[in-house]
C-alpha cells in the first residue's frame, strides 16, 4: 500500500532482532527488510545467505528500507547469530515434537515487549523458503511461534511471516495507535439543528404522501429518525442534507420527475407530440400523446420556468394563469380562463409539424373566443420585462 509521508519522523523503538537462516533469494531478503521498516524493526541478521552478500536483488526489493539493508549483520551459524540474546523464538508451520512452549504471534509479541523493556535481548528465527528451520535449529530457541493459518495451506512467504510478527509487536509497542484519524472539519450537529432538518424533511414527505398508510406513519417516522441519529452527523452534514431535500422539493429531479428540458429537447418532444396527434386516435397513439404531454408538463424548459415564475409572482398576473392545463382537447403552455387568453412559447427553428400543430390549436382556441399570444423563447430570456409589459397591454385591450 502506497502512502509513505517522508516528512514525518519514524518510530525509534527497541525491538527484537530478525534472524533469517540461509535465505535463498535476495528478493525475499529485501521484502523482509521492507516489512521490518513498516513496523519500526531495524536489526536484521542473516545466517549464511545462499547468494552471498551484499545482494543487489535484496536492495531493489527493499523499496526504500536502505537503513535496514545497509546495517545487516552476517553470521556463519545460528549459534553465532543468537549468542548475545536471552530470549529466542523459532517460527515454524510444522510440529517438531519438541517439549517447549508453542505460542501465537500475539503471545510472542507480548512476551518480547516485556522482555526488551526489562533490558533483555530478543530474537526471532525465520527459516529457509523451501524447508524452514531444522530440528536442531528449533532446539536452540526458547519458544516456538506458529501462525493460526489454514492447516491445508500453512506455508507463508518469508516476508509475510516477518510482517505478521512485526505487526503484532508494533501494535503492542504503540498501544495500537493509528497514524491518522478522521479529520473533524465541522463540529457535531446540535439536537436543535437535527430537529429542524427532520421537521423540514417530514413536511416535504407529507407533500408527496410518502408517510402512508396512516397507521404506519409513527413507525416510519421513528425509523427515519434513527437513520440520521445513527450517523452522528456534523453541522456540515446537516447543511448538505437540508440542501439535498430542498433541491428535490423544488423539482429538479431529472426527466419526467420535475427536471428541466433545454429548448432542443422540448422541440423534439413537441414534434413527436404533434406527429402522434396527427396519426389518428388509436389506443397506442393516445397513450403516447398523454405520455409525451405529461413529460412536457413535468419538465418545463428554462424559458417556461422563468415565465411561469413571473406570472405567479408579478401582481399584474398572479393567480390569473395556469400552466399546461387542458382547454378542451388542447393544452396550451399557459392559459387564463379569466381573460380567455392562451400563451404559446415559440422556440427558434421549430419543425413544420410543430408549427402546424400550433396553428391547429390556435384556430380551435380562437373559434371559442380565446385570444392566443405567441411569445418567443429568445425574447423571454433576453427581455422578460418587455414581454410582460406587452402581455399586460394585450390583456387590458381585451377587457
Distance in angstroms (rounded) separating the CA atoms of residues 396 and 399: 5
Q: Is position 9 within any domain?
A: no
Distance in angstroms (rounded) separating the CA atoms of residues 277 and 274: 5
Domain count, the chain: 3
Assess whether 200 and 334 both reside in one domain. no
Contact 245, 200 (CB under 8 A): yes
Q: Is position 254 within any domain?
A: no
Assess whether 169 and 28 both reside in one domain. yes
Handedness of CA 38, 44, 46, 50 (dihedral sign): positive
Distance in angstroms (rounded) separating the CA atoms of residues 264 and 251: 20
The pLDDT of residue 246 is: 76
Assess whether 278 and 337 both reside in one domain. yes
Q: Is position 8 within any domain?
A: no
Q: Is position 257 within any domain?
A: no
Q: Is position 180 within any domain?
A: no
The pLDDT of residue 175 is: 78
The pLDDT of residue 331 is: 80
pLDDT digits (tens, 9 = 90+) for 76-107: 999 999 999 999 999 998 877 788 899 999 99
Cα dihedral 101, 102, 103, 108 in deg (nearest 10): 60
DSSP per residue, 32-67: HHHHHHHTT---EEEES-TT-SS-HHHHHHTTT-HH
Q: Is position 125 within any domain?
A: yes
Distance in angstroms (rounded) separating the CA atoms of residues 207 and 251: 12
Residue 327 lies in domain? 263-397
Q: Is position 67 within any domain?
A: yes
Relative to beta strand 122-126, strand 334-336 is unpaired
> Which positions of the chain have pLDDT values less than 50?
1-2, 252-258, 279-285
Q: What is the model's pTM?
A: 0.49
Assess whether 219 and 107 both reside in one domain. no
The pLDDT of residue 122 is: 93
Which CATH number do you get for residue 221?
1.10.8
Amino acid at each position: 500500500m502506497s502512502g509513505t509521508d517522508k516528512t514525518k519522523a519514524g518510530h525509534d523503538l527497541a525491538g527484537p532482532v530478525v534472524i533469517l537462516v540461509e535465505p535463498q533469494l535476495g528478493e525475499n531478503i529485501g521484502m523482509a527488510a521492507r516489512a521490518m521498516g513498516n513496523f519500526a524493526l531495524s536489526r536484521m541478521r542473516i545466517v549464511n545467505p545462499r547468494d552471498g552478500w551484499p545482494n543487489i536483488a535484496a536492495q531493489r526489493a527493499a523499496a526504500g528500507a536502505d537503513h535496514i539493508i545497509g546495517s545487516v549483520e552476517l553470521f556463519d551459524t545460528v549459534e553465532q547469530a543468537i549468542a548475545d540474546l536471552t530470549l529466542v523464538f523459532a517460527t515454524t508451520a510444522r510440529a517438531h515434537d519438541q517439549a517447549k512452549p508453542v505460542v501465537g504471534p500475539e503471545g510472542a509479541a507480548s512476551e518480547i515487549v516485556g522482555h526488551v523493556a526489562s533490558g533483555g535481548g530478543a530474537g526471532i528465527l525465520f527459516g529457509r523458503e523451501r524447508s524452514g528451520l531444522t530440528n536442531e535449529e528449533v532446539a536452540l530457541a526458547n519458544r516456538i511461534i506458529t501462525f493460526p493459518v489454514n492447516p491445508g495451506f500453512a506455508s507463508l512467504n518469508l516476508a509475510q511471516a516477518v510482517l505478521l510478527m512485526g505487526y503484532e509487536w508494533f501494535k503492542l509497542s504503540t498501544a495500537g495507535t493509528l497514524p491518522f484519524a478522521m479529520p473533524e472539519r465541522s463540529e457535531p450537529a446540535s439536537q436543535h439543528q437535527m430537529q429542524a432538518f427532520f421537521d423540514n424533511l417530514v413536511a416535504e414527505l407529507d407533500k408527496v404522501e410518502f408517510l402512508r398508510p396512516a397507521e404506519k406513519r409513527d413507525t416510519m417516522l421513528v425509523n427515519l429518525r434513527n437513520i440520521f441519529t445513527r450517523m452522528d452527523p456534523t453541522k456540515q452534514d446537516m447543511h448538505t442534507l437540508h440542501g439535498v431535500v430542498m433541491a428535490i422539493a423544488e423539482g429538479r429531479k431529472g426527466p419526467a420527475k420535475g427536471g428541466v428540458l433545454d429548448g432542443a429537447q422540448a422541440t423534439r418532444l413537441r414534434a413527436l407530440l404533434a406527429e402522434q396527434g396527427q396519426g389518428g386516435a388509436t389506443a397506442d397513439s393516445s397513450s403516447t400523446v398523454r405520455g409525451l404531454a405529461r413529460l412536457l408538463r413535468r419538465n418545463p424548459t428554462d424559458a417556461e420556468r422563468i415565465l411561469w415564475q413571473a406570472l405567479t409572482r408579478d401582481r399584474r398576473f398572479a393567480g390569473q394563469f395556469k400552466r399546461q392545463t387542458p382547454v378542451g382537447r388542447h393544452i396550451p403552455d399557459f392559459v387564463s380562463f379569466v381573460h380567455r387568453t392562451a400563451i404559446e412559447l415559440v422556440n427558434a427553428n421549430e419543425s413544420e409539424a410543430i408549427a402546424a400543430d400550433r396553428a391547429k390549436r390556435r384556430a380551435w382556441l380562437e373559434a371559442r373566443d380565446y385570444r392566443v399570444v405567441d411569445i418567443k423563447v429568445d425574447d423571454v430570456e433576453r427581455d422578460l420585462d418587455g414581454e410582460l409589459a406587452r402581455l399586460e397591454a394585450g390583456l387590458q385591450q381585451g377587457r
